[in-house]
Amino acid sequence: MKRNALVFALLAGFAVSAAAQDLTWRKDVAPIIKKGCAECHGVEAPEYGDWMLLDDAKRKKEGPRMDTYTTFMNYVVWPATGAMMRRLDDGASSGGKKGNMYKYLGDDDAERAKNFATIKAWLGDGAWNLNRFKERKGVPGITKEQLEKVKAKY
Ligand code: HEC
């Protein structure tokens, strides 16, 4: 029994990581971003570094670019570490409150939940971390171990 449980746990773990590895930016994630986000975060939008130079009022109205793999990863890994996870969270990792960009993940609850699950699985098992690069207000900065969970296949 004990041994069966262990084998099952190993197989389940394998199935999850295999699923994450099958998902790719090009096939699975880019279409979600194109449909729900590119209107405000597309080719016309400023690069993250330029966006950071805008004044606060402008930065509230205009989003930075994140419609390509490299620009998207700016908000996962660096320099805006965890911003993607903080804005897209479904509430499970952020104390019940959804991130303010979650609503753009789809037209209805089912589509939003499905696209959220796809992006989360694509990033990798254990990679959905809301931490910033450095500690802020008592929330620890991201660790190398957490960053190593990011798979995010192109
Ligand atoms: C209608 C326009 C609009 C759409 C659609 C939209 N966003 Fe945003 N987004 C913004 C604006 C404006 C900001 C900057 C203001 C703010 O911080 O909330 C922003 C900020 C963000 C940030 C924070 C960037 C940072 O470094 O602080 C992330 C991450 C983000 N959006 C992700 C997304 C994703 C992913 C989608 C699609 C699922 C999306 N947004 C759809 C307008 C939009």
| pLDDT mean for each 10 residues of the chain (154 residues) | 58 56 94 98 98 97 98 98 98 94 98 98 98 96 98 97
111-154 pLDDT, tens digit each: 999 999 999 999 999 999 999 999 999 999 999 999 999 999 99
- Please tell me the predicted confidence (pLDDT) of residue 62: 96
Q: Which of 59, 87, 105, 120 has most ligand 1 atoms within 8 Å of CB, for mutation?
A: 87
Residue 128's region, left for phi above 0, alpha for psi from -120 to 50, else beta, is beta
Ligand 1 atom 15: the closest Cα is on which residue? 60
Ligand 1 atom 13: the closest Cα is on which residue? 63
Is the minimum distance from the CB of 83 to ligand 1 under 6 angstroms? yes
Count Cβ atoms below 10 Å from residue 81 Cβ, excluding itself.
22
